[in-house]
Structure 1
Amino acid sequence: MRNPDSPLAAPVSPDAPAACRGQGPLVGGAPLDPVEQGEPSAIRLVLSDDLIVESQDETHVTVANTATAARMKLSIAAYRFLKAFVKPRRLDEVVPPGAVAGARAQIAKLLEKGMLLDADAPRAGRALRLRTAVPYRFCSAPAYNAASAADDFVVLGVPYDLAGADDCRGAPSAIRQKSLDYLYRIRIEDGRSKGWFDANRKTWILRGATLADAGDVYVEYGEDQADLFGRIASALEAFGEGTVPVVLGGDSSVTYAVAAALRRRGSLTVVQLSARPVASPSSASEVIGTDEVAARLLQLDGIERFVSVGGPEAPPASPADRAVLYDVPTLRQAGLETLARDWDGTSAVHLSIDLGLTKPEYMRTDEHGSSAGLSLPELRSVISALGRMHRIVGIDLVGLDMRSRYAHLSAAAACDLALTAMEASRQRSEAAR
């Protein structure tokens, strides 16, 4: 990948650093070999387009290749030497002939790390880096292995929050860390899950269900949103249609990316539990904002309807045709299972849970025992009702604002709701067997 117009161009002059003249350290403080006579290299070298400066101080510069995550710590002199290849140049155009042989080993390191490229070699397509490893796995479940048997549920994090105002990129890690309170244990006899005992309902859930954690989708902050959403779609496609993805966002634009990908499996109804109904119309922006997810999704083939549940007040209007918004007073008056009966069961459901509804201002009860939003037991009831009436093929949890003083409580609620949603997804599939 050439970078002919990079602003880092710096000609090498007689007073250039020692590394550029074949003396002193070049890479990582390693000295060059003694001056040797040799034929100058005929290869033209150029900086990779994926090269960035990650950090720098008075003595060193750390550069990174964003496509491969490779990093190198260079001395200031070595960094100046590297910049000499901002445009395609042969090594003998940068260092004196007597220093070429000694510099070749150092150049080899830069080529190996992808910091420099052969300017005249055919360019292979950029490798698609889909996922990154994470320090904690959801409920300590096994890491996802594409070569193994299909899992019932696969957890995938998307630490992205550039489509809204909330700070949500740390949410996948926070939820995973809290989920370690719910350890995933496997039965010796068949290698399947022992499940968990739900003390609220006094019953076992997710017995025999297999769960894996696929880490996070790779996010390159500042890239086009469409590129990230494409990686999300590729990751979900790799899991296979028999697996229910459990996606940890990220802001609620992540719901768009997930539902847009899952609709390719068949027609889809998106149900979002949220205290802030997404009622804004679609914009012409290339970036899909968190407030226009419903309107944007309903423009896609395969999305039959969008249902929003949990607003404290009746919304002024629906964002588009085929959008249904249930406020809390109406839902309580009609019964919490009403929404599960309001359409037939022909289309699958993607369930999105906006964790903003777990904030204390929505869940705190007054002297009469009522809350402005849905309580945790009510949320469980709605999710279970969906599972009894509809086939849940995807789950996401989004909108956990890490700047909130109650973020840790929302992370705990997220774990509870994720397990409840997974159990609800199994209800319909188990009944069909």
Structure 2
Amino acid sequence: MLELHKMNLLIEEKIETILSSNNVTGRGLIILPSARKKYMVDHIPYFFRQDTDFRYLTGCLQPQSALVIEFTESYMKSYLLLRENTAYEEKWEGPRFGFQEATDFFGVDEVVSMNSFPDFLSRFSKDRMKLNMWYDVMSPRDEEIHANILEFIKTLGHHQNLNNIHPLREVLHEVRSIKSSAEIKLMRKTCEIGALGLKKTLASTKSLSTELDYLATIDYYSKMGGANFLAYPPVVATGDNANTIHYIAASDKVSSGDLMLMDAGCEYHGYSSDITRTWPVSGEFTEVQKVLYDIVLECQETLIKSIRPYETCIDQLYRLMLVELCKSLQTAGIIDEQEQSSALRFVHLYCPHNVGHHLGMDVHDCAELSKTKALLPGNIITIEPGLYIRKTFDRAPIEFRGQGLRIEDDILITDSGCEVLTNGCPKSRQEIEALINS
């Protein structure tokens, strides 16, 4: 669990910047609701996953909760609102924190009953001093809590002056993007588990006959390695299925001449890995597959080597990926155009996605961050070039059609460059073939 006290200080620093840049003065109020439990049908719940920002600041995994922080230039007080315990609900759902326990455990100043949320908010409307709020009014996490907050906003007159309501998510994402030493330790562990699980799945290739077999295998090895669960529905795709970027059906049999593209990661105590490997089901790359695989691997290695902290941004890496893929596709005769400017227009047809994204508590972490922002030490990103050539894509030479490949690793930005956190799963052709055939 992260220490709320430290996180409050970080938020306060960011908000002070906003206050000074907008010439805003007065009291500040942060309101951050938790996620709400959702149900498949009747009383059968979906698996509950806490709102990431709420978990980051509190460590609290209980639904229907909220964090409120009141502050001025010289004062700060934190409140955690929780549902009250009842013997009936605990019988069905298990125990929850009592209020005194929660105060001590989560390190907040005061715990308040969620049942009194509207009355609790009203205490902040009594002071005549102007109140500035940080709340994501356009992307509510809990509709019931959101309705209460909207009623509170009306009492402040903010419906007439929305300049006093600021989005919280973008502030938090800037803070969250720089991982602490404790977070980096958790990221190392989740990447280690994910890479080992993928390596063991790859090694099991000759005993697996369907995409579903592969899916079950990566799930098994990830959880046996210590993961809480898979971080997202994996892409487990053979043959032309790999050319559907978010293919998650995992419903086909595998054929000997196919490549297997597996994009899978796991979650370990709230932190996610995200890894992709592509390998031949037969245990040996064909000549065509070797050409494409080497293009993708060489591109990824070039991108990783190019990273410079404080200078490189994800957009620059994306543009470099297009250039590198373009040159290699021209050399391989897959793109006919010799002029780079015209050839670059075709590269997007072969790789329609970005080169990477931030990674951490969410798989696509800190989504509010601009991809033009320079990467800083403590950032963790993915680097994932790919090539996707559908069977029906008649622009490509016929021998390359039906092949889909991607290679993805998780990268920690350091003071001197970067570190690959997912080296536990091999990616050279020689290592992959040796692993499958051992």
Task: Give the TM-score normalised by the residue count of structure 2.
Answer: 0.29
**Max Rg structure:** 1
More helix by share: 2
Task: Give the TM-score normalised by the residue count of structure 1.
Answer: 0.29
